[in-house]
Amino acid sequence: MAASKSTRKEIEKLRADLRHHEYRYYVLDEPEISDAAFDRMMNRLKALEAEHPELVTPDSPSQRVGGAPREGFETVVHRRPMISLDNAYSYDDLREFDRRVRELTGREHIEYVTEHKYDGLSLALIYEGGRLARGVTRGDGARGEDVTPNVRTIRSIPLVLDSAAIKKWKLPPDLEVRGEAIMSRRAFEELNRKQEEQGGKIFANARNAAAGAVRMLDPKVTASRRLDFYAYYLLNADGRDPLDRHSRALDALEAMGFRVCAERQRVAGIDKVMAFCDAQDARREKLPYEIDGIVAKVDETALQEELGATAKAPRWAIAYKYPARQETTVVRDIRVQVGRTGALTPVADLEPVKVGGVTVSHSTLHNMDEVERLGVQIGDTVLIERAGEVIPHVISVTKKGAHRRPFVMPEKCPECGSRIHKSPDEVAYRCVNAACPAKRKESLIHFAGRHAMNIDGLGEKIVDQLVDNGLVKDPADLYPLTLDTLVPLERMAEKSAQNLLDEIESSKKNGLARLIYALGIRFVGERTGQLLAEHFGSLREIEEANEEKLTEVPEIGPKVAASIAEFFSEAANRKLVAKLQKAGVRMTAERKAPRDSKLAGKTFVFTGGLEHRSREQAGEIVVSHGGKVGGSVSKKTDYVVVGSDPGSKYDQAKKLGLTILDEAGFEKLVGIK
Ligand code: AMP
Ligand code: ZN
């Protein structure tokens, strides 16, 4: 069925709005609407596009993740080679660079543009007619790999360039944008945390993680890695500079919708470049991403052309590299630390050593696989690196110790003596005891979290004190707390203590879905909590369900089912549940009872847009009267409600001779106006 003019208009409007909000969120970091509102718009667009597949265009915001995994990448020749940058390791090197530039150009003073040197994977983005046509990796510099589907998943890369900016800067619509795909510190830490939780590979640094993510054969994996893109070159279709100054190119890129270095400066003379390097070094750890240096580029493109390039690097740019934060030292011991999720992390105790001005005395070894990969033993000399504020990590063994001895993973939890478990599909060894003291604090914080039991005011500081003073051992101990026990704690005025007690009290009524999530069972997130609650209705039944029964729940696979079953097979965990129940925590699901059952046994399918309500709202009305909403039309469908611009479901309904209602007919049937 052909789309009407109004549908086309709505689609166009949704796309424009979504583009705007993507830009606010992913480029500017200043969202104007809630995530939920964004999702609603996106869902509406996807629904319209599903009904009118002929209207789907590759630049639609719905099309960022599409396409199946690929077998490999095609090779693409770069219009202008993607060469490297010469490095400067000292300010003398910078002065020497400036001297050469002045000598070759005959200019006394040079204007430079300074930017961060991002540490990721460089990409060339080809825009045709203002639309993203292709994304290519640097490859060997002359040719790279076509990674277009992956590049499209990076939200800070505009699929469509801002046309007003193109006009304003008098740019051609065919352009090439070069820049770096990177992973922010936050995305990197989150990725490693997730990998650790799920027993996946731990990435040594954000660059490896970003480079790996761009080159994934499955764009869905790339999408899940949360990459960012920062632009630093603008070329026209023949690989030349469309603007007379690099600083203007960066401004134009920013106006067209890209992220560019926000701290960039245009400075006169090399001394100012050095001042910029100093200033950025001082606040380096505060940047959202890691940088390994500063790039200085001659601003005038005419001068750039005059200077030209060697085979390896342009003569008009230089990368100043910050001194490496690496050092060698001796591993005195390797011990085990029990972390948040009960994972046992091997940690190296080091001979204290200064790295980049900070004394380092231990370093994480992540997991047993990493210990084996490094081949590190107690007594070895190792090279360690400190990047950002994270704990330093061991890069390699530089000398084997004369009396070295291997590290052995303990068989019992060093904190509580419980059993250690390692599932075959993970690298981490874990303590199975939910009440393990090492896990206590973290599990309490998780329990009180906003999406779990939502106990406002139970932050880290309070939890530390509660656990350290022996007042709370597990989440169930929160419930008998009194004013007398809380008030003596630091930073606990009577009023805040009372507030906390009220919060704890009201959390009892949260219901099953939140409670399940709050228990912190591995692989059980909020959504799984809801599914379990809906399916079983009470914690008792979940406790008693075996793996087979658990997999009957839609969306719950064998891995999650096994994890749930294992959790409840542990005596300590069952004891915790009993204790929570005794404390008065609600263990059953809140089931929304239907208003009446006049639609019981009836299945509805909606197609096309309704006028008085969204289709979701209409669906809720059906459910509230005991009916069901189906996604597709079949013989079992009782009513098909047809709005404006209905899709193929309408034709199908006619073919099957089903009862077809318009919105008014639907309202009459359910008794509303
Ligand atoms: P390297 O890989 O250490 O030889 O450094 C050269 C690479 O640095 C370039 O190929 C770019 O991928 C990257 N790079 C990072 N930040 C910038 C920037 N602001 N301007 C130009 N290139 C950059
Ligand atoms: Zn333990």
CATH code of the domain in which 21 resides: 1.10.287.610
CATH code for the domain of 516 = 1.10.150.20
Is 270 within the bounds of a domain? Answer: yes
What are the pLDDT digits (tens) for 468-515? 788 998 899 999 999 998 988 887 888 889 999 999 999 999 989 999
Ligand nearest to the CA of 317: 1
Out of 477, 507, 537, a domain closes at: 507
Residue 182 Cβ contacting ligand 1 at under 6 Å: no
CA–CA separation, 489 and 474 (whole Å) = 18
Task: Report d(CA 20, CA 25) in Å as an integer.
Answer: 9
Look at residue 68 and tell me if it is in a domain: no
Q: Residue 430 Cα, ligand 2 centroid: separation in angstroms?
A: 8
Number of domains in the chain: 6
Residue 118 near ligand 1, beta carbon < 6 Å: yes
592 within some domain: no
- 419, 367, 377, 424: which is closest to 400 by C-alpha? 377
Report field, pTM of the whole predicted structure over 0.75:
no
| Residue 655 a catalytic site member | no
Q: Nearest CA to 396 among 373, 379, 378, 362? A: 373
pLDDT of residue 612: 79
397 is in which domain, residue-wise? 325-422
Q: What is the pLDDT of residues 37-94, one digit of tens each?
A: 888 899 999 999 999 989 998 889 998 886 677 778 899 999 999 999 999 989 999 9
Phi, psi values for residue 472, rounded to 5°: -135, 130
- 210, 341: one domain: no
Residue 250: the pLDDT is 98
Q: Is the separation of the CB atoms in 405 and 427 below 8 Å?
A: no
Answer yes or no: do 575 and 522 share one domain: yes
Residue spans of alpha helices (H) in 23-144: 35-51, 91-105
pLDDT at 87: 92
Find out whether 273 and 112 touch, Cβ atoms under 8 Å: yes
Q: What's the pLDDT score for residue 594?
A: 61
Tokens of 47: 């629904």
Class of residue 595 by CB neighbours under 10 A (exposed 0-12, middle 13-18, buried 19+)? exposed
Residues in the chain: 673
Is residue 317 located within the same domain as residue 337?
no
Cα of 179 from ligand 1 centre, angstroms? 8
Q: How many whole angstroms from 105 Cα to the centroid of ligand 1?
A: 24
Is residue 375 located within the same domain as residue 491? no
Whether 229 lines ligand 1, by a CB cut-off of 6 Å, is: no
Q: What angle do CA 653, 63, 14 make, to 5 degrees?
A: 75
Ligand number nearest CA of 435 is: 2
Q: Is 300 part of any domain? A: yes
**CA 405 centroid distance within chain:** 39
- Choosing from 533, 554, 583, the residue where a domain stops is 583
Residue 595 has a pLDDT of 64
pLDDT at 591: 59
The verdict on the CB of residue 319 being under 6 Å from ligand 1 is: yes
Instruction: Name which residue sits closest to atom 10 of ligand 1, judged by CA.
Output: 84
- Is 232 a pocket residue for ligand 1 (Cβ < 6 Å)? yes
pLDDT at 380: 96
Q: Is residue 428 part of a domain?
A: no
Give the pLDDT confidence score for residue 73 in this predicted structure. 87
Distance from Cα 557 to the centre of ligand 2, integer Å: 27
Give the residue, by CA position, lying nearest to ligand 1 atom 11: 122
Residue tagged active-site, from 117, 439, 579, 649: 117
Ligand 1 pocket residue status of 316, Cβ below 6 Å: no
Same domain? 317 vs 383? no
Q: Residues of the chain whose pLDDT is less than 70? A: 1, 66-67, 197-199, 340, 357, 387-390, 590-595, 616, 673
Please tell me whether residues 479 and 441 are part of one structural domain. yes
Assess whether 30 and 155 both reside in one domain. Answer: no
Closest C-alpha residue for ligand 1 atom 2: 84
> Within a domain: residue 597?
no
**Residue 594: inside a domain:** no
295 lines ligand 1 (CB under 6 A): yes
Residue 432 lies in a domain: no
Q: How far apart are CA 378 and CA 406, in angstroms?
A: 6
- Among 358, 393, 422, where does a domain finish? 422
CATH of the domain at 300: 3.30.470.30
452 with 406, same domain: the answer is no
